[in-house]
Amino acid sequence: MIKVLMVCLGNICRSPLAEGILQSKINPDTIFVDSAGTGAYHIGNLPDERSIAVAKKYGIDITNQKARKFTVQDFDTFDVIYVMDESNLQNILMLARNNVDEKKVHLILNESHPTKNLSVPDPYYGGNQGFENVYKMLDEACTIIANKLS
Ligand code: 4NP
C-alpha cells in the first residue's frame, strides 16, 4: 500500500480537492490518499462549499472529508507528501526530523511542470473561477501522479 498525503494551509480548499481527484484516479486497494492542513483554523470542518461544488461538477464527492492539521507522525504514516505552495513547503520542512522526512515532501505542480516550483494559488479569498483553475491544475498533476504510482 502506497500512502499519499495532500497538504495545504486550511485543508478546506486545495488539498481536499487534490485528495478527491487523486482518489478518483487510483485503485484504493493499493493506494491510500489523505489530506491535511498546516494551520488549525478549520479543524473538523467540511471542505469549503466552493471546493465541494467544483468537485461535484466533475463527478467527485468530497463531502466525506473533515479538515485536520498535519502532525509530525504523518511523516511516518505517509510515503509521499504533496504540498500546494511554497509556504506549505517551508512549514512542513520545518517539522521534518531528518533527510528521510524531507525527501517525502514535494510541490505537487512539479509533477506536471517539473523543476518549475510553481504553487497552486490559494483560492480562499477569490471567486469561483479560482476554484475552477485550482481544479484543472490539480487534475493535470493527479493524472500524472496516478500513472506514476499505478
Ligand atoms: P486552503 O485555503 O489552504 O486551500 O484550504 C485556505 C483556507 C482557509 C484559509 C486560508 C487558506 N484561512 O485563512 O482561513
Pick the CATH number of 2-149 from 3.30.70.20, 3.40.50.2300, 3.30.230.70, 3.40.50.300: 3.40.50.2300
Cβ neighbours around 17 below 10 Å, total: 34
Best residue among 19, 21, 41, 49 to mutate for probing ligand 1's pocket (most ligand atoms within 8 Å of CB) is 41
Task: Walk along the chain (150 residues) and give the pLDDT tens digit of each residue.
Answer: 999 999 999 999 999 999 999 999 999 999 999 999 999 999 999 999 999 999 999 999 999 999 999 999 999 999 999 999 999 999 999 999 999 999 999 999 999 999 999 999 999 999 999 999 999 999 999 999 999 999
End-to-end CA distance of the chain: 11
- Name the residue ranges covered by the structural domains of the chain: 2-149
Q: What stretches of the chain adopt beta strand conformation (E)?
A: 2-8, 31-37, 80-83, 105-107
- Tell the burial category of 11 from Cβ atoms under 10 Å away from its Cβ (0-12, 13-18, 19+): buried
Catalytically active residues, by annotation: 8, 14, 122
Q: Of ligand 1's atoms, which has the minimum distance to the CA of residue 16?
A: 5
